[in-house]
Amino acid sequence: MKPSGIIGNHCVSMAAPMLKYETERYVIMEENGRLLGQEKEHEALTGERLVLVQPLGQDLEQSVQDAFDRIGVRSVICEGDSVAIKVNLGGGIHHVLTTYSDPVICEALIKVLKRLGARPFVCEADMRAHRMHDRLLHTRGYLEMLRRNDVPFVNLSRGQMALVTCRDLDIPLLLPEILLRPETKIVSFAPPKHHWECGITGNQKNMYGAIGEPRKSIYHRKFNRIDKAVAAASRIMAPDINILASFNLGGGLGPHFCFPVQFDRMIISKDMIRGDKVMSEILGYPFERVEYAMINAAGKEVEYGLHPDSDWPSEETLKAIRESSLNPGKVRFWKRFLYPQYFVPHWFQSSVYPQFEFVATWVNQLFFRSPKV
C-alpha cells in the first residue's frame, strides 16, 4: 500500500523509496521519480599500487595498447562493457591543447577500447562558461572524430541526475546517473597540468568536472569547499582506469594559462590517487599540499610501484617543467585573488564569459608560448 499526502485540496500518492543502486561506495534510492543518494564509508585509496609512465610513440594506438596490456586493463574492462571516457573539456581554453584532453589521444583510446570489445562513449559536463554543444565539440576537434568512430558524446549535465549527500561536504552533489550505474566502467582521461587553486589537475580533479551541476561556482563560495567537492566527486565516481596524457604538459598558471613543455607520455594507473602522486612529482608540486588528495588518502601514506617499463622524463624535461611550476605560495595567492569572482551571477558567467574566450586564447599564444592549433 502506497502512502499518500495532501497538497492543497488534492490527494497525492507518494511512492515508497526504492533501492536503485548500491555499491561499496554509495546507495542510490528512487523516490517519486527522483534519485537521492548517500555516500557510504569506504576507503578511496585502493590496493592497486602500480603506475606506468608510457611513452606516446608515432604509432599511438600501439602505445595505448601496450599501456593497457602492461597495466592489466583486461582485468577491469571486458567485452561488452559500457565504458565512459571522461575527458577534460570544460576546464580548457579554445586552441590551447595543453589545457584540454587531446582528441588525437582520445581517438586512440576509443580504438583500443573497441578492440577489447567494449562500447565506449565520451562524456563531459557543462561548466560555468562552457556548454558541451556541437559548436564547442567542433572547435575542440571532437565532433568529427566522434562521428568518424561512431561513438556518442554524452553531456553529463543532461539526463537523469542523483542528488548525493557526501561525507565532509556541506552541500550535496548533483551527479549523472549514467556514471553511477554499477555496470558502467569509467576511464578518466585528462591532460596533466597545474591548477592555480588546487595545485594540480589530475585524475581526481577531472572527476569534479563530471558533476552535473553547471553552476560550478557554488563549490567555490566557501573557501575550503572546492577541495572537499573534488575529493567527494572522485570518491563516488571513482575511475576504473586513470590516464593523464598529453604531447605537451601544462606548466604555468593552469588550468587556463599553461606553458607547453614537450611530454609525449601517459601516466596510467588503476588507483586515481597514486596516479596523481606520480603526476605531482613530475610537475614539481608537493603532493602533500594537494588538499583533495590528502582528504581522500585519509591520513595514509600514498606509496606506488613504478612499472619497470616506465619511461620517466629526462632531467632536461623535468627542469623545463619546474621552471614554470606553480608552488603552494602562488596557489594560496591565486585562490584568494580569484575567490570574489565566484559570486558573479551565474547568468552573467554563462552568457558573457564565452564571448571573450578568444582573449584567453590570445594571452596563451602571446605570453605562454602556446602554438596555434
Rounded CA separation 349/342 (Å): 9
Q: Which residues pair with 161 in a beta bridge?
A: 176
Q: Which residue has the higher pLDDT, 111 or 366?
A: 111
Q: Where are the domains of the chain?
A: 17-41+48-367
Helix axes 60-71, 103-115, angle to 10 degrees: 60
Alpha-helical runs (H) found in 149-224: 177-180, 203-208
Rounded CA separation 360/295 (Å): 32
Which burial class, exposed, middle or buried, applies to 132 when counting CB atoms under 10 A from its CB (0-12, 13-18, 19+)? buried
Of the CATH numbers 3.40.720.10, 3.30.70.1150, 3.40.50.720, 3.40.50.11440, which one belongs to the domain with range 17-41+48-367? 3.40.50.11440
CA distances from residue 190 to 5, 86, 181, 220, 348 in whole angstroms, order as listed:
47, 8, 22, 21, 28
Q: Which residue has the higher pLDDT, 90 or 142?
A: 142
Three-state DSSP state, 98:
helix
Which one, of 60, 76, 142, lies nearest residue 109 by Cα? Answer: 60
- Look over the chain and give the mean of its residue pLDDT values, rounded to a whole number: 92
Rounded CA separation 273/8 (Å): 51
Answer yes or no: is pLDDT of 303 > 70.
yes
Whole-number pLDDT of residue 13? 47
Answer yes or no: is pLDDT of 12 > 90.
no
Dump pLDDT digits (tens) for 55-82. Answer: 999 999 999 999 999 999 999 999 999 9
Amino acid at position 87, single letter: V
Residue the block writes with cell 622524463: 313
Alpha-helical runs (H) found in 298-371: 315-322, 328-338, 346-352, 357-367
Q: In which region does residue 32 sit, left (phi positive, over 0), alpha (psi from -120 to 50) or beta (all else)?
A: left
pTM of the predicted model over 0.85: yes
The three cell numbers locating residue 346: 551565474
CA distances from residue 86 to 115, 167, 254 in whole angstroms, order as listed:
19, 24, 19
Dump pLDDT digits (tens) for 209-247. Answer: 999 999 999 999 998 899 999 999 999 999 999 999 999
Answer yes or no: is pLDDT of 14 > 70.
no
Q: How confident is the model at residue 5 (pLDDT cuts 50, 70, 90)?
A: very low
Whole-number pLDDT of residue 15? 66
The three cell numbers locating residue 93: 581554453
Whole-number pLDDT of residue 372? 76
Whole-number pLDDT of residue 4? 40
Residues 188, 272: contact at Cβ < 8 Å? yes
Residues 77, 71: contact at Cβ < 8 Å? no
CA atoms within 13 A on the CB side of 334: 18
Rounded CA separation 190/179 (Å): 17
- Phi/psi of residue 357, each to 5°? -65, -30
Q: Which residue has the higher pLDDT, 119 or 33?
A: 119
Amino acid at position 207, single letter: M
Amino acid at position 228, single letter: K
Answer yes or no: is pLDDT of 191 > 80.
yes
Does a cis peptide bond (omega within 30 degrees of 0) precede residue 255?
yes
